[in-house]
Amino acid sequence: MHFELTEEQSAIQEMARKFTADEITPFAAHWDEEHVFPRETLNKAAQLGFGSIYVAEEHGGIGLSRVEAALIMESMAYGCPSTSAFISIHNMATWMIDSFGSDALREKYVSQLVTMENIASYCLTEPGAGSDAASLKTKAEKDGDHYVLNGGKAFISGGGVNELYVVMARTDQGSKAGGISCFVVEKDTPGLSFGSQERKLGWHSQPTAAVLFDDCRVPASNMVGSPGDGFKIAMKGLDGGRINIGACSLGGAQRCLDDAISYVKERRQFGQRIADFQNTQFMLADMKTQLEAARALLYIAADKVSREAIDKTQWAAMAKLLTTETGSKVVNDALQLHGGYGFLMDFPMERFLRDLRVHEILEGTSQIMRFVIGRELVNE
């Protein structure tokens, strides 16, 4: 087996790293502290193709695999996990329209999503349907050449700000997962409204709000795929989404490890550098080893998702579980090595600690990842 990046992958990674160093890292602390949504930075990312990473080239995207997507997300998260994750969610929603939408729907929306002139949200979670997403209650009832949506979605990244919402809604009340369909809803559609912006522990560079439907009339032509395909589309999107969120954890953790190494080489106590204490070296050794092991698993899982391998969902779940939990541990250890300074906003550790914490919850909690992995093992 060959584990080295190809020349093309290395070039993509280097491009993403340079973009991050120039356009994200210098500003991320300000975005976090002031809750700034960096729309201009997102547009610049789209100019490099980062708004359409796995959209087909013939539709304006750059048509890369999930491995290259992971490299890009990891690189951008080195500067700001929140911003990188937001771009990942946009990519997921755009990919759904490109891959499963009709030619007319693709022509109507994809070109503006590719440039991130319009940004898309992914709307699955509801107040009463989080981990059990198939139990969602939002209804879509056929009325002539429209569907009428009623219900609400919770914790939606881009809620109230983004131009498009890829929404999972129930079209068949008699079926659970098989009764869910997928729709594209435009922001200015009558009957669509938004809750107030959520006050969050982290992810301050992106807006988050409830998305509400009250007799919201959506053209039937805005259905993505066929009636009843919504849950399957949502789950296929989550495989890639889990890879990307895992990559964001790796990027944030790598930044904190690098900063911790630099700090312990400079900080002196008891007449020597902190780096010279064996305990410090053992901590760094564990952080490095755990991070590289998680990274290797993530890249293998990303390749399986790209190839549509039969066990891709299990591997995506394993990768998300390990990367997100490892990422949080590495960041916490990096903060510990900084001592009291790690607790201050003058250093980035506390921001990364807050931003990475939610990665163990969204796109499927760590507990659900263990359920997915274990279910596959006993049903083989």
Give the single-character DSSP code of 198.
Answer: P
Instruction: Please state, as a whole number, how many other Cβ atoms lie within 10 Å of the Cβ of residue 219.
Output: 16
H or E segment and range at residue 239: helix 230-266
Contact 184, 109 (CB under 8 A): yes
CA distance 252 to 230: 32
CA distance 78 to 20: 7
Whole-Å CA distances, 260 to 22, 79, 102, 295, 334? 22, 15, 49, 19, 5
Contact 92, 84 (CB under 8 A): no
The residues near 123 (Cβ < 8 Å, ≥ 6 apart) are: 153, 156, 165, 166, 167, 168, 211
Which position among 23, 58, 363, 380 bears the catalytic label?
A: 363
CA distance 141 to 240: 30
Burial (CB count within 10 angstroms: exposed 0-12, middle 13-18, buried 19+), residue 4: exposed
- The dihedral of CA 208, 359, 181, 177: what is its sign? negative
Tokens of 308: 């549509």
Over the Cα atoms of the chain, what is R_g?
A: 21
CA distance 245 to 249: 6
Examine the residue annotation and report whether 380 is marked as an active-site residue of this protein: no
Catalytic residue numbers?
A: 363
